[in-house]
């Protein structure tokens, strides 16, 4: 009976996606992709007329394959930190559930404080992916 909510989670996610589509939250996605692809550092990527389409496809496949792997590794690391902190908190006679909000708060503050270090590289990477999407979808097969 405890796992009853797990059956409703996909339905809630699907319902949220349907509502977001109905409301039009994704209608400006083409504008956002065009904005990312038009960044000054990314404009010159995939300009070779011979290999641009295949390079863009390679970049899209790499992004599609490697992103879930990186997210999984990050999730495992975060869960290991939560478990370790939980053990430490329990040894101090504090509740173990306190470790998850504590790790989340520390991660959010750290990401915000270090945004100058990771945000430009992240924007460049997203710009390359957006440029690859535009190059691959706008050119026909060779």
Per-residue model confidence (pLDDT) at position 4: 63
For the chain, give every domain's residue range: 1-28, 38-138
User: Comparing C-alpha atoms, which of 140, 135, 109, 122 is closest to residue 70?
Assistant: 122
Q: pLDDT for 48-58, tens place per residue?
A: 888 889 999 99
Per-residue model confidence (pLDDT) at position 116: 94
Give yes or no for residue 1 having a pLDDT over 60: no
User: Comparing C-alpha atoms, which of 78, 67, 58 is closest to residue 126?
Assistant: 67
Per-residue model confidence (pLDDT) at position 73: 97
Q: What is the DSSP letter of 43?
A: T
User: Would the CA dihedral through 54, 60, 64, 70 be positive or negative?
Assistant: positive
Per-residue model confidence (pLDDT) at position 3: 60
Q: pLDDT for 65-107, tens place per residue?
A: 999 999 999 999 999 999 999 999 999 998 988 999 999 999 9
In angstroms and rounded to an integer, the radius of gyration of the C-alpha atoms of the chain is 21
Per-residue model confidence (pLDDT) at position 49: 84
Alpha-carbon distance of 80 to 87, in angstroms, equals: 11
Q: pLDDT for 15-50, tens place per residue?
A: 887 887 777 766 677 888 888 899 888 988 988 888
Alpha-carbon distance of 126 to 38, in angstroms, equals: 11
Rounded to whole angstroms, what are the CA distances from 120 to 85, 105, 131? 31, 23, 16
């Amino acid at each position: 009976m405890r796992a009853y909510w797990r059956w409703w989670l996909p339905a809630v996610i699907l319902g949220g996606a349907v509502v977001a589509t109905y409301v039009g939250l994704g209608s400006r996605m083409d504008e956002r992709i065009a904005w990312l692809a038009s960044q000054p550092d990314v404009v010159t990527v995939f300009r070779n007329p011979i290999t641009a389409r295949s390079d863009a496809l390679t970049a899209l496949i790499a992004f599609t394959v490697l992103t879930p792997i990186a997210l999984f590794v990050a999730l495992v690391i975060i869960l290991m930190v939560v478990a370790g902190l939980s053990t430490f908190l329990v040894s101090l006679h504090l509740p173990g559930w306190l470790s998850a909000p504590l790790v989340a708060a520390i991660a959010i503050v750290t990401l915000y404080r270090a945004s100058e270090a990771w945000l430009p590289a992240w924007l460049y990477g997203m710009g390359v992916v957006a440029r690859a999407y535009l190059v691959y979808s706008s050119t026909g097969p060779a």
